[in-house]
Structure 1
């Protein structure tokens, strides 16, 4: 096996990626009151959402340990890449880097590179897919790193959620001062900054208009859409995701489209009914 890609579990893997044997998930964990949930193949989204709805407290997440990443790097693959949730939102990136340093101390030199996605969810999915495309094209390790870092620079993340409470309570909305009261049914349209933090792009009254506003932002921001893969993830709302896909395809023609249900960490932050778009 010439290469391996480790994606922390905020990034969803497609069925094709799972079957390929090149991709591995490093699981984060979630605590909802006394319930400890590992974000792996056993994650039950409906049960998790029910636990969150019943709890007066905000769920808390924990990133993979450096030792977990180190063990992931310890494999037969000659080149190993890790893709993590934005370093501005989680300790997963720092943990992956420390795991790399521990590996080198314990086992010696190996080509290992950790990508800070500066995104989340399907943003990580697209980055992991890009690594695979570069490897399959026969690029050298350093060329893969440069190409994928350039790809991350060009990537944009957008989202509309039914509630921003989990993000707010967990300190992920620092610097955003103008969020309006949810009692008015105003839904902010959010996005990522080049640094990997969260910003507000706009707002609209009601989810339907907010999604339309998000689509406008996606179309305005995308360059050369025919070269891009459009990725949509949703938390327990496939019909809503399908409508967003249809609205986008009426305006742009990407080379491929991926639609995935959110895994554990993405479900925690997106909350029931949330939609994330990355292109």
Structure 2
């Protein structure tokens, strides 16, 4: 195989393993532990059960990145590999993939492998994957594909809206005081990924309708102008469609796709959460 696009399951996109004769695709799953139960993040149909288990469990939970050997196996069957990982500021997945790269190149120095730290998660990574597939299926060499992806990444961003933040608080991603306010008052949390791949809170809103309007205002302020948007939801397609309608009212030419969050993204976004990856002008 000439090209292969690999991602950990911090992305939400799920595609056939063979894009065409020359380009393959593979998702390397993260692991989610809830009490004594282990979830392998490789099946979107498991998400309702994952959420039910997480919400009913009184035991602790955690997530684990793929082992280097798992990445190495994914890199084995292609000449040119682009691998996207969760933000290195949130997960060890990037370091694991880098170790796999070293191992694979020791065995076959002729391969081209680039590990792309997305500094993000979910639907922004989906945008990057779509761009990588577009470039890999065109007449562009490996180094130019990497450079064009880096340039594209400068024009992508991520917003999110959360109805619950229990896991973010438990795992040290969010302040406990902020988390308790959201749980007690029914506040929606609006945030973005920072330039260094961390979670940043930018608004707190009472009720989903106002929260969606704040998300739209953030898009405007960040320079959105009819580019591609991917809206990922955790078991809340209705609110994803409501946001799509709001955006199209302001930007009739917008290209908007809706998909479901992966297990890992559902674990952190939790039930009702939205992740919005978008292209800036």
Assess same fold via TM > 0.5: yes
C-alpha spacing 1:9/1:188, structure 2 compared with 1 (3 Å):
same
C-alpha spacing 1:219/1:209, structure 2 compared with 1 (3 Å):
same
* Contact 1:230/1:254, CA 8 A, preserved across alignment: no
* Contact 1:229/1:255, CA 8 A, preserved across alignment: yes
* Contact 1:84/1:92, CA 8 A, preserved across alignment: yes
* Contact 1:118/1:197, CA 8 A, preserved across alignment: yes
Q: CA deviation at 1:168?
A: 1.8
- Alignment partner, residue 181 of structure 1: 181
User: Aligned partners of 1:220, 1:38: CA distance in 2, in Å?
Assistant: 38
User: Aligned partners of 2:30, 2:253: CA distance in 1, in Å?
Assistant: 31
Q: CA deviation at 1:179?
A: 6.2
Structure showing the higher strand proportion among its residues: 2
- Alignment partner, residue 40 of structure 2: 38
- Alignment partner, residue 3 of structure 1: 3
User: Aligned partners of 1:100, 1:9: CA distance in 2, in Å?
Assistant: 18
Q: CA deviation at 1:236?
A: 0.2
How many residues are matched?
274
C-alpha spacing 1:275/1:64, structure 2 compared with 1 (3 Å):
same
- Alignment partner, residue 154 of structure 2: 153
* Contact 2:163/2:187, CA 8 A, preserved across alignment: no
* Contact 2:86/2:117, CA 8 A, preserved across alignment: yes
- Alignment partner, residue 69 of structure 1: 71
TM-score, normalization: structure 1?
Answer: 0.92
C-alpha spacing 1:39/1:254, structure 2 compared with 1 (3 Å):
farther
Q: CA deviation at 1:32?
A: 0.5
SS at match of 2:13: coil
Tell me, yes or no, if structure 1 residue 119 matches structure 2 residue 120: yes
Tell me, which stretches of 5 or more residues in structure 1 are unaligned?
Answer: none
